[in-house]
Amino acid sequence: MPVFNLNINNKVYKITAEADMPLVWAIRDLANLKGTKFGCGMAQCGACTVHLDGQPIRSCQMPLSALSKKAKITTIEGIAEPTLHAVQKAWIEEQVPQCGYCQSGQIMSAVALLKTNKNPNDEEILAAMEGNLCRCGTYQRINQAIKNASKML
Amino acid sequence: MKNNRREFIKNLGLTGIGLSIGIDGFSKNVALKKLTAATLALEINPFIIIENTGKITLVNSRPDMGQGSTQAVPSLLAEELEVSLDQVSIIQSDGRSKYGSQQSGGSSSVRGLWMPLRQAGAAAKEMLIKAAAEKWGVNAADCYAEAGKIFLKGSQKSVTYGEVADLASTYQVPKNPKLKDPKDFKIIGKYNKRLDVPDRVSGKAIYGIDAEIPGMVYAKVVHSPRIHDSIASIDDATARKVVGVLDVIKIERAMPHTKVDAVAVIAQNQWAALKGAKALTVNWKSESGKYLNQNTSEYFEAAYTAAKKPGIRAEEKGDFDAHFESAGTKLEAIYETPFLAHAAIESENATVHVKDDGSVEVWAPIQGPDGALSQVAQYLGVPEEKVKINVTLLGGSFGRKAYMDFLNEACDISRKIKKPVKVLWTKEDDIAQGPYRPAMLSRMQGVIENGRAKAFHHQAIGESIAGQVFNGLRPNTADDWLSGELSQENHQYNFEVNKVSYSRVKTSIPVVWWRSVYASNFGWGQECFIDEMAHEAKKDPLEFRLGLLKNAPRFTKVLNLLAEKADYKTPLPAGKAKGIAVFRSFDSISAACVFVSKTDNGIKIDKVVSVIDCGMFVNPDNVKAQTEGNIIMGIQAATKGGITFENNQCVQSNYHDYQVLRNSETPKMEIHIVENYERPGGVGEPGLPPIAPALGNAIFNLTGKRERKLPLGV
């Protein structure tokens, strides 16, 4: 079986897996980082969102074979600086999560947005967050928390 | 950082128990019971555990699926015990009977536990105060409790709960401990951040899907597309060649009312199990004898046929039919709601280990550990004492994870392969296998006399959850679960003549409760039809309702507050409109005003103002959060396509064709809470039922066209 040296959160994990295994399962089951969630398995819900070289991707659609050797992956466990990212602080302040299952993905999308756009307007927030479903319906708080976080950064 | 997973998996080892207070069953006469360390070690954890090391642990007996029970339930204990939640540890109950009913559902946690848990907290506090008084040789009346300590009035003396817990445990538990005046509450009714939120934003919170047991294997269950079919043959040659696949076995999906065949692909990791399942060919033998109205077209045809005949009378004041026959101005309309899937982002999953010694351990996101305990024991034929239930957080549920077919599947697999196994359904299983909210019709009839609503009839038509799931509905009986919600006592409209009837339409499409249960169906018919009657009577819909609710002060207050907050009386410009609805469910009254506008792309929902009277509540912010969620889910139920069955199988399969609301579709939401000292009502569901009818009424006011069938085209 192929071996992949995956750089996740600046730590190298030696992963032995089939080349077609989607990244989400390598992260969850082989690197044992459970913060990244599996949702729909077809890039409809965004629960599995992680960063690949800083860009948000749906890890359920990314086979290990498609990752370059230099790929840097960041998961929810890797954004804290040093304890909590400004986006996470804003999420707590706004009391965003209900069940919280989608929130790792929501936060990864929000962190990626604020990295490239320090002060997004409403349309830009919606465009960046449209791929992340929340069945509990926390969207109004998510959008407010992103605005609050942008002021903290 | 502590290792949550390890903490979660290891057994709770309680040491140095000083005082522990439990509740002996949740019968109507609640009895507080002191639990000794010996009984603790044997079987139970009580609700309050004060160790003489000073550590205080409170038990949350209602699984948290996002509704905030992790905060709300321990708050009831903490308020009376005089501790703050950041001073204590909170653990989840494990289903043992000493915790009473542990099912999160029916918006029941706070309203059901309101008195018993406050009494448990108050009793423990009285015993601790008594112990401190004895220790100091003073009167208990001169001592008071605050923030986990007992203080002697007018002195510097204080002692922690832990220091007097041993002595306190020697006393009888007071039968009628003095409860605080709600006006003195420090936690209940106040804004407090939920303390589990940091874990939920940092990937540390443990959901069912995250359970990891040493030696565990993974399973993907392949289900029959037509739900009830049996296996003719299995071709697993290709599946077994998938790297990581360990086995392919025939299993069963045991639903509460029926068992059907299924196949499990067992693998070393989840991906291999999914891949193996794709490579598997199962030849299903059609069990057409088991299909009953298993196409939605057949079901609705049967329902519309039933609508032409009288239903079973559930309640009647006056002779409705006589009034209707002779009435000058009468209205009649049929309203339709579709089947809906719950579609939580975390699909159904369970991890089960049926061990060699005959004991069983479960880790699962389930709504009721007590139900799971008895179900697993019964299903596997083992005594309940040998079953241990570990409830994880639920990644959404909305009713679905109270129906534990997926847990039985994991039990069946583990007993067959003799290993711990995690079963994870895919979103396709979740969407296409059910159970669903039943589709329903409301046949509405009304009589207007002299500009007033005189007579009203709601005929509810469709499958009964009690009937199908629990085989609990006798023939020619109205499902009182459903008719209670439609009763005049519930809606409070003072029609002179009022009738509720029910016509059951059976289906083999699996059904179960869905957020707000039947209220999510029947709010649509009831509240749109009230508007129809108002228009017929040439009255404003708000004034019309207020006229019918003269003897219902809480309804009146809710509607008046809604009118004020929504600026109801101010006319909107052309191209904009609003609509209202009010519905009581789970002991709470909720009303909504939905604002819509015409755009080039059709009708847009601009804003929703919601008012809820849920009596006393724990955390106003959580009431708002739940109501926001209800608005979002209510809009989905009203505007997105439902579940349909063709060729006896579900047409939809994932979020692309069973759509839930996305971020950009979120209207501006404003939530207002009626503050009073009424008995607590539910919070997790009552905000939902008024949303669809308020939207339907708004659309009528915008377009002049009365929509009676969901989903609406917005």
Domains of chain A with CATH codes: 3-76 (3.10.20.30), 86-152 (1.10.150.120)
Q: What is the pLDDT of residues B547-571, one digit of tens each?
A: 999 999 999 999 999 999 999 999 9
Write the residue in B193, B396, B424 that is nearest to A101 by C-beta: B396
pLDDT at B21: 60
The tens digit of pLDDT for each residue in B373-425 reads 999 999 999 999 999 999 999 999 999 999 999 999 999 999 999 999 999 99
Segment B591-617, tens digit of pLDDT? 999 999 999 999 999 999 999 999 999
In Å, how far is A1's CA from the nearest CA of chain B?
Answer: 9
For chain A, strand residue ranges (E) read: 3-8, 11-16, 49-52, 55-58, 72-74
H/E stretch holding B221 reads strand B217-223
B202 and A29: CB-CB below 8 Å? no
Transcribe B384-438 into DSSP letters: GGGEEEEE-B-S--TTGGGS-HHHHHHHHHHHHHTS-EEEE--HHHHHHH--BBP
Given an 8 Å threshold on Cβ–Cβ distance, is B202 in contact with A34?
A: no
List, for residues B516-551, the tens digit of each pLDDT value. 999 999 999 999 999 999 999 999 999 999 999 999
User: How many C-beta atoms lie closer than 10 Å to residue B538's C-beta?
Assistant: 9
DSSP B7-48: HHHS-----SEEEEEEEE--SSS-EEEE--HHHHHHT---SE
Q: Does the structure show a pLDDT above 60 at B303?
A: yes
Strand partners, B389: B362
Q: Give percent of chain B with pLDDT exceeding 90.
A: 86
pLDDT attached to residue B173: 83
> Which letter, b or e, does each residue of B523-537 get, where b requires 16 or more Cβ atoms within 10 Å of its Cβ?
bbbbbbbbbbbbbbb
Are the C-beta atoms of A26 and A66 separated by less than 8 Å? no
Is the pLDDT confidence value at B133 over 70?
yes
Q: Which residue of A has its CA nearest to B629?
A: A137
Please indicate whether, in this complex, the C-beta atoms of A37 and B664 are within 8 angstroms of each other. Answer: no
pLDDT at B40: 32
Separation CA B31–CA B655 (nearest Å): 48
The HSE-up count of residue A102 (CA atoms within 13 Å, CB side) is 31
Residue with the two structure tokens 């290792």: B3
Identical fold between B4-200 and B296-340+436-703: yes
End-to-end CA distance of chain A: 44
Residue B46 pLDDT greater than 70, yes or no: no
CB pairs under 8 A between A and B: 181
A92–B207 CB contact, under 8 Å: no
Q: What is the CA radius of gyration of chain B?
A: 27
Just give the CATH number of B208-289+348-424: 3.30.365.10
Region B507-513: mean pLDDT is: 98
As a dihedral over the C-alpha atoms of residue A100, residue A102, residue A107, residue A108, rounded to 10 degrees, the angle is: 140
pLDDT of residue B20: 62
Determine the residue type at A127: A
Q: Is the ipTM of this complex over 0.95?
A: yes
Please give, rounded to a whole number of angstroms, the shortest distance from the CA of A153 to a CA of chain B. Answer: 18
Half-sphere exposure of B174 (CA within 13 A, CB side): 18
- The tally of CA atoms less than 13 A away on the side-chain side of residue B158 is 11
pLDDT at B337: 98
Minimal Cβ distance to A136: which of B209, B396, B668 = B396
pTM of the model: 0.95
Say which CATH architecture domain B296-340+436-703 belongs to.
2-Layer Sandwich (3.30)
What CA–CA distance (Å, rounded) separates B419 from A66? 34
Q: Give chain B's largest Cα–Cα span.
A: 82
pLDDT over 50 at B11, yes or no: no
Mark which residues 378-397 of B lie under 8 Å from A by CB. Answer: 393-397
- Contact between A100 and B201 using a beta-carbon 8 Å cutoff: yes
Whether B1 has its CB under 8 Å from any CB of chain A: the answer is no
Domain locations along chain B: 4-200, 208-289+348-424, 296-340+436-703
- Residue B570: which residues within 8 A CB-CB, separation 6 or more? none
Helix (H, G, I), strand (E, B) or coil at B368: coil
Mean confidence (pLDDT) of chain B: 92
Q: How far is A70 from chain B (nearest CA, A)?
A: 24
Q: Which CATH architecture has domain B4-200?
A: 2-Layer Sandwich (3.30)
Tokens describing residue B668: 């501006």
SS3 readout for B83-152: CCHHHCEEEECCCCHHHCCCCCCCCCHHHHHHHHHHHHHHHHHHHHHHHHHHHHCCCHHHEEEECCEEEE
Do residue A99 and residue B66 have CB atoms under 8 angstroms apart? yes
- Digit-coded pLDDT (tens) for A52-85: 999 999 999 999 999 999 999 999 999 987 889 9
In this complex, is the C-beta atom of B222 within 8 Å of any C-beta atom belonging to chain A?
A: no
Whole-number Å distance between alpha carbons of B712 and B634: 12
Edge to edge, the sheet with strand B497-504 lists B312-317, B497-504, B452-462, B440-449, B329-337
Phi, psi torsion values for B639, nearest 5 degrees:
-120, -20
Q: Helices B161-168 and B109-136 meet at what angle, rounded to 10? A: 90
